[in-house]
Amino acid sequence: MRIQSVLRAGLVLSFGLLVSACTTTEDANNAARSRWLGQPVEAFFAAYGPPIDEYPLSSGKIYTWRGGDKTRYIPPTYSSPEPATTIVRTETRSDGSGQTVTQTRVIRSDPFWQPEMISPPRYQQLFCELQINANKAGVITAIRASNDTDGDGFSLSRCAEVLGVKK
């Protein structure tokens, strides 16, 4: 009983460490703000590529930037085997000498079980989209992730991966 408690605590701690190591959209927003606020918008575009759209304002421009496009294959998922059931098969036959022989076999699970597809294979588009506000002088005054997908690895944010956020 004590060993199970120690193992359970170890699993909870491991899961907590794994989740805490994941980067999020908020981490990406914080990193982008700390790195790019007050910098020339051209410096951002030189580092990450040109914007896909811009909207003029009386105070400057709002740019939409998109990057880190990648397609990820997600394999199908199947149902897991049904819980192990015990099947007892008893066969009675007579051998050649006239004696009756009874044979009992115990099968731990159904040998005819076939998995069912729960979700088909699919492709998922991964990308990061930022909204960047710049004043008339071309200096970044605001920057935030406006559309962020899951990351390619353990990250919860594609923007965090693209912007190089480390946790």
State the pLDDT at residue 145.
96
Question: Domain boundaries in the chain?
Answer: 78-117
pLDDT in tens, the chain (167 residues): 455 554 454 444 344 333 445 889 999 999 999 999 999 999 999 999 999 999 999 999 999 999 999 999 999 999 876 665 666 677 777 777 777 777 777 666 666 677 889 999 999 999 999 999 999 999 999 999 999 999 988 889 999 999 999 87
State the pLDDT at residue 20.
44
SS (H, E, C) the chain: CHHHHHHHHHHHHHHHHHHHCCCCHHHHHHHHHHHHCCCEHHHHHHHHCCCCEEEEECCEEEEEEEEEEEEEEECCEECCCCCCCCEEEEEEEECCCCCEEEEEEEECCCCCCCCCEEECCEEEEEEEEEEEEEECCCEEEEEEEEEECCCCCCCCCHHHHHCCCCC
